[in-house]
Structure 1
Amino acid sequence: MQRILLFLLTNVLVVAVLGVTANLLGLRGYLQANGLHLGMLLGFAFLMGFGGAIFSLLISKPMAKWTAGVRIIDQPSNATEAWLVQTVHELAERAGIGRPEVGVFDGAPNAFATGAFKNSALVAVSTGLLESMNADEVRAVLGHEIAHVANGDMVTMTLIQGVMNTFVVFLSRAIGYAVDAFLRRGDDRGHGPGIGYLLTTVVLDIVLGFAAAIVVAWFSRHREFRADAGSAALLGQTRPMIAALDRLRSLHAAPLPRSLAALGIHGGMSQLFATHPPLEERIAALRNLRPGDSALRLD
């Protein structure tokens, strides 16, 4: 809940900074003279940035279950499922969070964690991962996912995405109005935004959206290193996580559906838009890990 409040406060502060900056630069009078009410635009940017991101966070669990075809293990039907549930619950207790729901989905080796709250998250693994890894490696992967939950990574990712959305919405429309006013200077026949505004807004939504995606992807890569270190802290050693990542490298694990790509143990994109660092870099980081490097705090 604290992270949700932080998320709301951050977006409010971003909108406030945008408003103050617009006033200091003298943009309020210029934009309002050309038909744009700055306060309404700031409110719209806030609703689109915060509202859309928080809504996606709140529905993240049911959407993940639906898109990945996750089967929740309410009553284990075999020894593997019983071990899986027990291991997740043990790791969650060690990390100081509530017991997540545990699920299995069909597919190539992968796993993910999601949910708006630490104490009611979802941890799911694929049948391919269970079939291709030994118990120590699966346990390390589960530790990685539990570390994501304990670190509040889902909420933090949503916060960053919301802030980026707010900037994109505000800047694209403010610049769109300015461009439209320039193109229609001296024209008294029309009121409201014209074709210049529409075209500029569409183009900037795309361009600034790509720029925002780069920022979000950078943080996503950073949190993977933290979750790897968190798994090592939960297990008390780095060897199982290194072995799991090395196994993934040899298996060429397939990515999750696009809506879940940033949540998985392994991603499929590369370079600027990659949600996950190369497996080689993650293994090297674990080998260089020193005591106390993990962001996960264990009691």
Structure 2
Amino acid sequence: MKWKRDTGLSGRIFFTWILLLFVYLVFMGVLIALGLPSVFIIVIAVGMGLVQYFFSDKLVLMTTGARIIENDEYPELHRTVENLCSIAQIPKPRIAIMQSPMPNAFATGRSPNHAVVAVTDSIMATLNRNELEAVLAHELAHVKNRDILTMTVAGFLAMIASMIMNNFLFASIFNREQGGAWIIAGIVAAVVWVIATLLMMALSRYREFAADRGAAYITEDPDALISALQKISGKMDRVPVQTRAAAEGANAFYIIPAISGKSLAALFSTHPALEKRIENLEKVREEIRGY
């Protein structure tokens, strides 16, 4: 396998962790300054951090409704993943299936030794063997690049900030003594949400390019991934809006985002444009062929 270490991705992951740590500490400091119990905030922060690290894969699976399958279920899918892992030189992850009309796939987990690759039943019906292999290779490239945990932590921070944003007005109205403090907390939460979302966008878009390149290196067939991305994107437009809206919370993990057009997900896209991804894969094709 021809594999290049992506220093651009490694640098972005490191930089994102530094910024996330800074934002996390500032966020906690503001909440403590507003009078919330410091011990309570620290315990919650540490507890949530441990939960994210050790149970991030289970949280994503629960959110998406994916089910881990055993080796005797979908044996062809297991064989394909095992062969790709042998080429990519990574441990075989657990495999999960989602029952959904939305053709999609994702990878989750804190490390290559604790990873899960999930696909929907509809993507297996939509793609041919080579295309499905290319999609699986894309997800395994995420595992090899070790970029999944960073996205999970950034997404969790944005989720917490969003929860405070959504409740600060209610708290400020019904808690007159500390109403001003809750308004300040809501404003800070809004700033944290924007920063965390922007960090996710910047990292996620680049990591999708990196995973596309990685899939092409693993399979040596970038055209199969180009065809798969076009098929998935084309069919996604025919998926009911309600189904796409329900799946938007996990967009950062999917190979193609589920955008309903009725939320901020349409503005804060976690993926580069399909045309850009195809251009990227065409360059890899030329590289593989030695042009």
Partner of 1:102: 95
Partner of 2:203: 219
In the superposition, relative to structure 1, how do residues 225 and 47 fare at CA in structure 2: closer, same or farther (>3 Å)?
A: farther
Equivalent position amino acid for 1:75 in 2: N
CA-to-aligned-CA distance 1:23-62 (integer Å, 9 cap, x gap): xxxxx9xx9xxx949xx97x88776666535523422222
Equivalent position to 1:52, from 48, 51, 64 = 48
Residue 14 of structure 1 deviates from its aligned partner by 3.6
In the superposition, relative to structure 1, how do residues 229 and 15 fare at CA in structure 2: closer, same or farther (>3 Å)?
A: closer
For residues 271 and 15 of structure 1, the distance between their equivalents in structure 2, rounded to whole angstroms, comes to 25
1:149 and 2:165 matched: no
Per mean C-alpha deviation after superposition, the further-off stretch among 210-219 and 154-163 is 154-163
Structure 2 SS opposite 1:144: helix
In the superposition, relative to structure 1, how do residues 163 and 69 fare at CA in structure 2: closer, same or farther (>3 Å)?
A: closer
Residue 214 of structure 1 deviates from its aligned partner by 2.0
Consecutive unaligned residues of structure 1, counting only runs of 5 or more, are: 1-5, 19-27, 173-192, 293-299
Equivalent position amino acid for 1:210 in 2: V
For residues 244 and 147 of structure 1, the distance between their equivalents in structure 2, rounded to whole angstroms, comes to 16
Structure 2 SS opposite 1:288: helix
Whether the 8 Å CA contact 2:99–2:120 is kept in 1: the answer is yes
Whether the 8 Å CA contact 1:141–1:244 is kept in 2: the answer is yes
In the superposition, relative to structure 1, how do residues 12 and 287 fare at CA in structure 2: closer, same or farther (>3 Å)?
A: closer
Aligned pairs for 1:198-213 (under 5 A) are: 198-213=182-197
1:66 and 2:58 matched: no
Residue 73 of structure 1 deviates from its aligned partner by 2.4
Residue 209 of structure 1 deviates from its aligned partner by 1.2
Partner of 1:247: 231
Partner of 1:288: 283
Structure 1 SS opposite 2:255: coil
Whether the 8 Å CA contact 2:20–2:196 is kept in 1: the answer is no
Structure 1 SS opposite 2:71: coil
Partner of 1:178: none
Structure 2 SS opposite 1:104: strand
Partner of 2:219: 235
Per mean C-alpha deviation after superposition, the further-off stretch among 263-272 and 130-139 is 263-272
Residue 284 of structure 1 deviates from its aligned partner by 1.6
Residue 159 of structure 1 deviates from its aligned partner by 5.1
In the superposition, relative to structure 1, how do residues 10 and 50 fare at CA in structure 2: closer, same or farther (>3 Å)?
A: farther
1:129 and 2:119 matched: no
Partner of 1:88: 81
For residues 131 and 245 of structure 1, the distance between their equivalents in structure 2, rounded to whole angstroms, comes to 14
Structure 2 SS opposite 1:262: coil
Residue 279 of structure 1 deviates from its aligned partner by 1.7
Structure 2 SS opposite 1:276: coil
Structure 1 SS opposite 2:118: strand
How many corresponding residue pairs?
A: 246
Residue 155 of structure 1 deviates from its aligned partner by 1.8
Structure 1 SS opposite 2:251: helix
In the superposition, relative to structure 1, how do residues 271 and 49 fare at CA in structure 2: closer, same or farther (>3 Å)?
A: farther
Q: Which TM-score applies when normalising by structure 2?
A: 0.70
Find the structure with the greater CA-based Rg. 1
For residues 18 and 47 of structure 2, the distance between their equivalents in structure 1, rounded to whole angstroms, comes to 13
Consecutive unaligned residues of structure 2, counting only runs of 5 or more, are: 1-13, 166-176, 260-264
The percentage of counterpart residues that share the same residue type is 30
